[in-house]
Amino acid sequence: MANADEIKKYVNKLFRIVNSADLAVFGYSIVKKNKVDDILVCIIALLPDSFKKTMKKRVPIDVYPSVASFNRLSKVIKKTFFLSKDLYIFKTQGVISLIQNINKTIERDLNKLEEEEQQL
């Protein structure tokens, strides 16, 4: 089983990056691209294959909330800033709520996916 605590550790690092944005204006945050990409790569590396397969299926949010939230987070947080391709811009509160949802539900979803995988 994937270590949910390790995944949460990196998700919390992403949360700190979002909260300490390089620039925050009108509810939007601007963050260096490499900071976000480095953390997302670490999170993806820790995710089990069953979670990654489920991400590709585009499940409804009520089935696996953390999978749906992570899919949404990956899309929302990776919008490049029009003045520089080295920066991402995103709506701060939306990203924070997705991160909080992932933290709340990742452990349950990982356990559920593992149980389903064992039944096969």
List the beta strands (DSSP E) in 1-120.
23-25, 28-32, 80-81, 84-91
CB-CB contact of 64 with 109 (8 Å): yes
Indicate the pTM of the whole model. 0.84
The rounded distance, in Å, linking the Cα atoms of 120 and 109 is 17
Listed by start position, the domains of the chain span: 4-119
Question: What's phi and psi for 118, nearest 5 deg?
Answer: -70, -30
The rounded distance, in Å, linking the Cα atoms of 105 and 4 is 10
pLDDT tens sequence for the chain (120 residues): 458 888 889 899 989 888 887 777 788 888 899 988 889 898 888 888 887 888 787 666 677 888 888 888 888 888 888 888 888 888 988 889 999 998 998 888 888 888 877 776
